Every structure is written in C-alpha cells, then in structure tokens.
Chains A and B, each alone.
Chain A
C-alpha cells in the first residue's frame, strides 16, 4: 500500500469482467484500485444459467458467481444500479446517470449486449419482454403465475430455452421462427427437425417460416399476427430474435466502433488506456456471444492489465449446447457442404439419434450431434487439433468406444456381435436366430431371410445389418439382392421407400430422411423430387409441397427450353377451343412478342420462347380469357385428346368429345409418377389415337372399351385392353381408379406401361375390373386427393397478394448494369 495504486474502472459487471478481475487479482493483487459500475442492481451472476432459474430447476442464489463478500475481500467498489452515461477521455473520468464521477487510469468497457427488439407495430406494448437478465426472468415468472399464454419470437438458443422454461412452468407456449428450421446457425436442417419434433412432443407449438407482422392489442399484448394472416392469441410476447453489442457509450466517447467496440488481440480499443471485452467487443471482425471465447478475452485482458501480456486472443470454434433438460444436442465448427468436403452421417431412427461429421482433407471440421452427444467433446478435440482421422475413418462416427488399437472393419464389427445381440427391434430377432436359419435352411437371399426370420420385415431399418450378417455367414456364396437403390443417398429402392412412407406414416422429407437413415443431409436432385411426389400422393391433405424439390418446370409452371426461355400451353379441354380463346392467344403472342406458336401432339397450342420475367403477365392475360394452365410441364395429368364423335362425325358411336372433356375436368391437377396422357376415340377408326396412350377409351356401339399401358415415345407399344363398360360414369370410375392405382404404386418417372408390365397386366385387370370394392376405394382416394390438387397454379400466382412479392422470383434479384450506369 506504500505506492499509490492505479485506478481501474470497469463498466459492466457481467461474467466476462468478473472473470477478468479474478485473473487480475491472482496475477497482480495490489496493482489496482477497482471500481465497478453495474447497471443491474445486483452482484455478478451466471447469466447462462438463467434458463434453469426460469424453469425452476435452480434459484438465483444458486447462480451467483461473486457474492457481496468477494467485492469487500478484494477492496472493489461496486456501484449497483449505476448506468454510466458518459466517458470523458481527456479528463479520464466516467459519469453515471445519477452524477457519480470516477477517475480512471485504465478503463474496461464491458457493456455486453442488448436484445434486438423487432420493430413491428406493438413492440412497445405492456407484455412484450426480452430474455436477458434476472429482471426479465422475474417478469416472465410473474406472468406464468397468472397462466398467461406466451409467444416466443425466435427459435435460436435463447428463444428455445425461454420456451422450454415457460412450458415447464405450465404455460401455453408457441415459438415463432423466421427460418425453416430451428437453431439454423448451430444445427443443420436434419437436427433442427428432430429438435422441433421433440419440442412439439412436449406441447410447445412451433411455427417455422413465421414472419411477425404485428403485435395485437391496445397498449397491452393480446396476440401476434403473422404476415400470412395467422393470429395467435397470447398475453405475453418474449422477443428472442438476437442480440446487438452495446457499443453506444464507446462510440459517443469517440472510440473506434464497428458492429461492436473494435479491439486488438490484446483487448485494447483505439484508446490505449481503454480496454473492452465481452459481448460488446469486436475482435478480428467477430463479435462473440458464447461464454468460452468471452472467458478467453478475460484471460487476455487480465494478463495485459497485470503487465504480463503473454496471451493474445485467437478465434476458436466453440461448441453449442442447448440447456434444456432431456434434449441433447451438440454442434461445433463448420458444417456447410462443399466439393472438397465429405460427410459421414449416422442415423438411428429408433433411438432418435442423428450424427453428422463434416470432413475435409481427412480432418473433422464440423460436428452436429443430436440425441447422443457423449462423443461431442471427443469429436471437438479433433476439430481443434486438426487431427488426421484417415486411420479410423470407417468407424469414427461410432465414437470413442469403438476405437481399438486396430482400425475396425464394419464387417468385422458385425461378425464380432454377440449371438444374442438384437438385430431387428420390431420383431425381436437376435443375431443367432438369423445366422442359424441362414445355415440350416440354406437361405441365400434377403426375401427368404425375411420370410423365415421376420428380421427387417417390418420397418426395414435394419436391412443393412441383416445383409451384412448374410455376407458374413455365407461368405462368397452371398449375392446381394439386385434392388436398385433410389440414388446414392440410400440403399433402399423406390418400392421399399413407398412402402415405408405408408407403414411409418412419414409425412415430411426430413422425417423420412431420419426414419430411413438417409446417407446425406438433404438428399439430391434424384431423390428429392421422387420423395416430394410420394408425399404429395400419399398424404394429400397433410403434406406441405416442397417446391424447391420440384423440377424447374413444375416450379415455374412452364416448360424450360434450350435457351433458358419458357413455353406456355393453356388448357383446352378435350382439345376444343373457340374464337375468343384463339383471339386471346393471338393477343398474348403479339403483346409479348412471342417468337413461335405451335400445335402440340396433345391438341393444344404451345407458345414458345417466353422470357421468365414475362410469365406472370402472360398468365394474367390468358387467365382473363378464361384459360387455366395446361400443365404441359407436369408429372401429372397432361391432356385428354378427343375426336369429334357423334357431334359431327358420321361414324361416331358415342360423344367422345364430351367424355374426354368430362375426364379432363375430373382429373386435371392430379400429380402422377410420370406424365399421364389420355385419349378418347369415338369409334374403332380411332382418330384420337387412343391405343398408344397411357390410358385410352375407344367408343363402340355397345359402350366403351378401356385401354391402358400404351406408349408412343422412346418405346412404341399398343395398349392392353382393361375391359368393357357400358356407361360414361363407369368409364370415369374405372379410369380414375386405374390412375390412382398407378399413382400409389408407380416409381417416380416410371410411365404407366412400365409399371403395368412390372406388376402384371392381369393384376391391374383383377384389381380394377373384378374387385369392385378395391376399385371404389381407389376412386374415393383419388377424389379426396383432388380436393387439394385442383388449384390452378396460374390463377394462384396471379391472384396472390401482394403481387410484387409473388413475382419477385421471376425477375432477376438485381440488375447491376442499370445500377452502375446510374452512379
């Protein structure tokens, strides 16, 4: 105490400056007289443990880091509830909001961050809270007592912890998240999906892609309205949409400020006597919010203040965990995809486990774990140390316990399984039962093993393991079943996938990829369109069509051409048109300078060479004339071609035109595995060429002959006869039932003639002609599906509000040639 001590003033009393002082007192206990100004009226506490306080698992006393005694012991002057309003760098003083002035030799700014309040109407109502400090938690707990319903805006770490805590307090909670998957900054979409499932199973409603329009009420929260018009009633809104570094005080003092207060790797600001650390500091262009890097800042700053500047701050990847009891997730590093990157994915559908490692140059650079996070630290070490993992690559994903001295071969691992290890969980089949039957009965293919042991006969997720067992048991005698996998993302074929979608009630692509243990995180251009179709077909009322999984023609509702322009085909029912329609087409062709107009093979008019940005306006004009989309781009019902029948033709036996129109009006809008083209001919002369169509009808004196499975494309094939019926209504029922059977059984992109040949023409006849119950059931399912499918995509696009947004995707995002010219 002989020498006068230097004066150290700290603005802010959070975890980072608290840790800094601990280091400082250890290294140089007598160097400084320390004064702290804390805007909060309390001591330093563990802010990241607020969630357990909210949920009731801990009390505030449990999370205090420095009690009052600590400040006394170290001679620290703590001003509680004092907010610093000014820094005077010339006189080296700070002033608090009540006029307290303190001199400093060294100043540390640790003002932290403040929650980002989305500036929607109503954001200042009573009942809108943030989730930042103990006052917020107290306010939420008060609201919980009165049973208020809560909307949490933001599905990131903080928002979800708040939601889980409030739910644990018995509140009715809805989470709104702007992005399609939760915690998208820390998790990939597959893990985000599992997290959402778990939260929903706890009774927390989650709405993704939710854009908040306004908070409803009259000075007091009554609900939240979304941009799409959805209204959620509530009395409490918690804004957890992110944080902003609190840098205003520093900026007003003339310090260099970017997103946060800019410091060097020794935590020094642009003024050599002023330091900054914590969430308000920006170092190396980055601001930090997780505690590990903030504690590292504390260590660096303390070292420098104590005159031992040995450490500098270096960026390192920090693992993320969610502090919600019973939810295990872990992520670290960079898990984006890239050409030089590979991924190892392990999914265990039964256990709700998802693990993904991103590998680059034989090094782990990113880790996402859900369900089982035990190996998180082990993987993170590889990320940190940049360990070469090529030696253990094949078994790496199984975790630390699987790593022996020798690299493990997955086949060896299967061989090493004990005899009583359960292989098929659904049917309770263990390893020895399978290998026993294989040896005793001489089974050599998967279907036989399934038939005799029931292993992999239910959900099928253990199929790979059963096949490995066969390979181990049979050795070279094993010839894997020639099931063509859908694509490189799975070992399952189309038929297995379709069966499992129904059996396991998989109603979204992420659900399917998890349950069927997809080998990639988001599929590929082969499997995604197929899966999207299967979902649309099997769950017409529940599945939300994923447009990004559709081929461009079905996204743009037009056919892409070789030069990137589009062609547009309006629907002409049964091939009939009128002067009014033709005039409208002529006007559109002139107005948009459409370079080519052509008649198609399906009796329609095709306008070719339309620029993408003109498409909406073209539809609008066509729509005014009564046209709807001809869906000439769809894997769905295309055209019903007709002849003029009894209306005009002297040979006509029935009203083929009328029947064709009736079929087309009934079936338009339906999606099918591949395109579906129909025709109705009025007599056996067959001018509508019905006998080379997917489904055709030939009218005869006694009624109608129904045909199917023709082809006149890559393959040429005459139709098969399905059977004869006597009325138009019967034609409709049979044709629709046949189409539905094909919709439910066909593989994506498999035309009807290939499907029918595969399952047998007689089987089709048996189900559609002979089994009236089956036929009616198919028919009913088609009719139900049409309720959701018969929406004219052109009208839907043109009528949507606001128009500008709907059409934005048809225009370039920006035109820099114009912008630059203007500058």
Chain B
C-alpha cells in the first residue's frame, strides 16, 4: 500500500461518457495496462487490467456493483480494493483516480512518468 509515490501526477485520460455505464476501458501506461471502470452509480475505479488468477483482461468482464467478473475464469475482483472476492485469493493493484467535472484523471507516480519521458 505504501508504495513510494514521490508525487502523484494527475493525468486526464478522457471523459466519463467515453466509458459505458457498467463498463470499462483500458489505458496503456508505463506500468502496463490499467482498467478504468464505471459503475451503475457513476463511480470510477482504476485497477490493473490483469486478473491475479491467469492474467485475464478484467476490462472485458461484466461489471456489477463495485466489482468485475473476469471473462476468462469468472474470478470476481473488487474494484475498490483490488482483492479477489469469494473463495479466491489474490489481488490487483489499485490506482488513484478522480473526476474533475466529467473529465477522468488517473493518478500516476510522477517519477515513473519521468523515467519514461
């Protein structure tokens, strides 16, 4: 949890309306693919787009409540904590995300971005 975020850089990645309700889109970042999820209640979450089980693309799953079911083997991942729910054990990283009006901003480690640039 206490990853050494030297500084969080907020990067605008798109509009809320770019993501279908109860749907997801992925964002390519220096730390791999990140899934951006939008729930029925218009909350957005950012988690790694990589199921802890066999690496399935979580953005392609069915979004229900604040969780997503992986399309490969039906693991259910909590969008808020990144933890697998039910009997399965595992977790994906979550990232800070926020809405500025209708613009979605993803929080990335600025050091990580700098290295890449």
Q: Does A599 contact B (CB under 8 A)?
A: no
Chain A residues with Cβ below 8 Å from B55 are 563-564
Q: Does A228 contact B (CB under 8 A)?
A: no
Please, how many angstroms separate the alpha-carbon atoms of A764 and B80 in the complex?
Answer: 48
Chain B residues with Cβ below 8 Å from A821 are 116-117
- Once the chains bind, are A562 and B30 in contact (CB under 8 Å)? no
Please, how many angstroms separate the alpha-carbon atoms of A561 and B29 in the complex?
Answer: 23
- Once the chains bind, are B13 and A524 in contact (CB under 8 Å)? no
How close is A547's CB to chain B, nearest CB, in angstroms? 8
**Contact residue among B25, B66, B74 (Cβ-Cβ distance under 8 Å from A812):** B25
Closest chain B residue to A814 by CB distance? B13
Please, how many angstroms separate the alpha-carbon atoms of A179 and B40 in the complex?
Answer: 10
- Once the chains bind, are A820 and B40 in contact (CB under 8 Å)? no
How close is B90's CB to chain A, nearest CB, in angstroms? 14
How close is B39's CB to chain A, nearest CB, in angstroms? 7
Chain B residues with Cβ below 8 Å from A525 are 61-62, 64, 69, 74, 76
Pick out which of these stretches binds chain B: A33-41, A155-163, A330-338, A634-642: A330-338
Chain B residues with Cβ below 8 Å from A340 are 80-81
How close is A690's CB to chain B, nearest CB, in angstroms? 32
Chain A residues with Cβ below 8 Å from B66 are 336-339, 341
Please, how many angstroms separate the alpha-carbon atoms of A339 and B72 in the complex?
Answer: 22
Closest chain A residue to B116 by CB distance? A820
Chain B residues with Cβ below 8 Å from A180 are 21
- Once the chains bind, are A522 and B64 in contact (CB under 8 Å)? yes
Please, how many angstroms separate the alpha-carbon atoms of A612 and B28 in the complex?
Answer: 14
Chain A residues with Cβ below 8 Å from B92 are none
Q: Does B33 contact A (CB under 8 A)?
A: yes
- Once the chains bind, are B22 and A548 in contact (CB under 8 Å)? yes
How close is A578's CB to chain B, nearest CB, in angstroms? 34
Kindly identify, within residues 69 to 106 of chain B, every residue whose CB is under 8 Å from any CB belonging to chain A.
69, 71-72, 74, 76, 78, 80-81, 83, 85, 106
- Annotate B30-58 by CB proximity to A: 1 below 8 A, 0 otherwise: 10010010011111000000000011110
- Once the chains bind, are A817 and B29 in contact (CB under 8 Å)? yes
- Once the chains bind, are A823 and B117 in contact (CB under 8 Å)? yes
- Once the chains bind, are B43 and A336 in contact (CB under 8 Å)? yes
How close is B42's CB to chain A, nearest CB, in angstroms? 6
- Once the chains bind, are B18 and A336 in contact (CB under 8 Å)? no
Closest chain A residue to B13 by CB distance? A814
How close is B63's CB to chain A, nearest CB, in angstroms? 7
- Annotate A165-179 by CB proximity to B: 1 below 8 A, 0 otherwise: 000000000000011
- Once the chains bind, are A816 and B21 in contact (CB under 8 Å)? no
Please, how many angstroms separate the alpha-carbon atoms of A809 and B25 in the complex?
Answer: 7
Chain B residues with Cβ below 8 Å from A654 are none
**Contact residue among B22, B36, B74, B117 (Cβ-Cβ distance under 8 Å from A820):** B117
- Once the chains bind, are A336 and B62 in contact (CB under 8 Å)? no
- Once the chains bind, are B80 and A338 in contact (CB under 8 Å)? yes
Q: Does A60 contact B (CB under 8 A)?
A: no
Q: Does A756 contact B (CB under 8 A)?
A: no
Pick out which of these stretches binds chain B: A433-441, A474-482, A549-557, A600-608: A549-557
Q: Does A815 contact B (CB under 8 A)?
A: yes
Given A552-B61, A820-B117, the answer on whether A812 and B26 have CB atoms closer than 8 Å is yes
**Contact residue among B25, B39, B60 (Cβ-Cβ distance under 8 Å from A556):** B60
- Once the chains bind, are B65 and A520 in contact (CB under 8 Å)? yes
- Once the chains bind, are A562 and B72 in contact (CB under 8 Å)? yes
How close is A594's CB to chain B, nearest CB, in angstroms? 19
Please, how many angstroms separate the alpha-carbon atoms of A551 and B64 in the complex?
Answer: 12
- Once the chains bind, are B65 and A814 in contact (CB under 8 Å)? no
How close is A460's CB to chain B, nearest CB, in angstroms? 24
Chain B residues with Cβ below 8 Å from A552 are 60-62, 71
- Once the chains bind, are A548 and B62 in contact (CB under 8 Å)? yes
Q: Does A528 contact B (CB under 8 A)?
A: yes
Q: How many residues from B make CB contacts under 8 Å with A?
A: 50
How close is B4's CB to chain A, nearest CB, in angstroms? 19
- Once the chains bind, are A188 and B40 in contact (CB under 8 Å)? yes
**Contact residue among A188, A189, A550, A816 (Cβ-Cβ distance under 8 Å from B27):** A816
Q: Does A560 contact B (CB under 8 A)?
A: yes
How close is A559's CB to chain B, nearest CB, in angstroms? 10
Chain B residues with Cβ below 8 Å from A556 are 60
Please classify how large the interface on chain A is, using the bins under 10, 10 to 19, 20 to 34, 35 or more: 35 or more
How close is A448's CB to chain B, nearest CB, in angstroms? 36
Please, how many angstroms separate the alpha-carbon atoms of A526 and B112 in the complex?
Answer: 39
Q: Does B113 contact A (CB under 8 A)?
A: yes
Interface centre among B13, B74, B81 (most CB of A within 10 A): B13
**Contact residue among B22, B62, B108, B116 (Cβ-Cβ distance under 8 Å from A551):** B62
- Once the chains bind, are A820 and B113 in contact (CB under 8 Å)? yes
Chain B residues with Cβ below 8 Å from A547 are 20
**Contact residue among B17, B60, B78 (Cβ-Cβ distance under 8 Å from A339):** B78
Please, how many angstroms separate the alpha-carbon atoms of A178 and B17 in the complex?
Answer: 10
Given A339-B83, A339-B85, A552-B61, the answer on whether A522 and B22 have CB atoms closer than 8 Å is yes
Please, how many angstroms separate the alpha-carbon atoms of A180 and B20 in the complex?
Answer: 10
Q: Does A416 contact B (CB under 8 A)?
A: no
Please, how many angstroms separate the alpha-carbon atoms of A384 and B9 in the complex?
Answer: 34
Closest chain A residue to B56 by CB distance? A564
Please, how many angstroms separate the alpha-carbon atoms of A430 and B28 in the complex?
Answer: 61
How close is A187's CB to chain B, nearest CB, in angstroms? 9
**Contact residue among B25, B36, B54, B78 (Cβ-Cβ distance under 8 Å from A562):** B54
- Once the chains bind, are B65 and A521 in contact (CB under 8 Å)? yes
Closest chain A residue to B51 by CB distance? A564
- Once the chains bind, are B62 and A817 in contact (CB under 8 Å)? no
- Once the chains bind, are B65 and A524 in contact (CB under 8 Å)? yes
Q: Does A529 contact B (CB under 8 A)?
A: yes
Please, how many angstroms separate the alpha-carbon atoms of A548 and B17 in the complex?
Answer: 15
Given A337-B41, A525-B69, the answer on whether A809 and B62 have CB atoms closer than 8 Å is no
Q: Does A808 contact B (CB under 8 A)?
A: yes
Q: Does A68 contact B (CB under 8 A)?
A: no
- Once the chains bind, are A549 and B14 in contact (CB under 8 Å)? no
Q: Does B11 contact A (CB under 8 A)?
A: yes
How close is A526's CB to chain B, nearest CB, in angstroms? 9
Kindly identify, within residues 767 to 823 of chain A, every residue whose CB is under 8 Å from any CB belonging to chain B.
808-809, 812-821, 823
Closest chain B residue to A546 by CB distance? B22
- Once the chains bind, are A814 and B22 in contact (CB under 8 Å)? no
Closest chain A residue to B28 by CB distance? A815
How close is A663's CB to chain B, nearest CB, in angstroms? 31
How close is B24's CB to chain A, nearest CB, in angstroms? 9
Please, how many angstroms separate the alpha-carbon atoms of A549 and B63 in the complex?
Answer: 8
How close is A749's CB to chain B, nearest CB, in angstroms? 12
Q: Does A523 contact B (CB under 8 A)?
A: yes
Chain A residues with Cβ below 8 Å from B57 are 560, 564
- Once the chains bind, are B43 and A548 in contact (CB under 8 Å)? no
- Once the chains bind, are B21 and A336 in contact (CB under 8 Å)? no
Chain A residues with Cβ below 8 Å from B29 are 816-817
Kindly identify, within residues 525 to 554 of chain A, every residue whose CB is under 8 Å from any CB belonging to chain B.
525, 528-529, 547-553
- Annotate A311-348 by CB proximity to B: 1 below 8 A, 0 otherwise: 00000000000000000000000011111110000000
Closest chain B residue to A529 by CB distance? B62
Please, how many angstroms separate the alpha-carbon atoms of A652 and B66 in the complex?
Answer: 58
Closest chain A residue to B23 by CB distance? A548
- Once the chains bind, are B80 and A812 in contact (CB under 8 Å)? no
How close is B65's CB to chain A, nearest CB, in angstroms? 4
- Once the chains bind, are A335 and B28 in contact (CB under 8 Å)? no
- Once the chains bind, are B33 and A812 in contact (CB under 8 Å)? yes
Chain B residues with Cβ below 8 Å from A820 are 30, 113, 116-117
How close is B107's CB to chain A, nearest CB, in angstroms? 12
Q: Does A447 contact B (CB under 8 A)?
A: no
- Once the chains bind, are B41 and A809 in contact (CB under 8 Å)? no
Kindly identify, within residues 11 to 61 of chain A, every residue whose CB is under 8 Å from any CB belonging to chain B.
none
- Once the chains bind, are B39 and A336 in contact (CB under 8 Å)? yes
Chain A residues with Cβ below 8 Å from B116 are 817, 820-821
A-B contact pairs, 15 of them (CB 8 A): A184-B41, A337-B67, A520-B65, A521-B65, A522-B40, A528-B62, A548-B20, A551-B71, A560-B57, A560-B60, A812-B28, A812-B33, A813-B13, A817-B28, A819-B11
Closest 7 CB pairs of A and B: A525-B69, A337-B66, A813-B25, A339-B78, A564-B57, A814-B13, A552-B60
Given contacts A521-B65, A528-B64, list 5 more A-B pairs with CB under 8 A. A337-B41, A525-B69, A548-B63, A809-B20, A812-B27
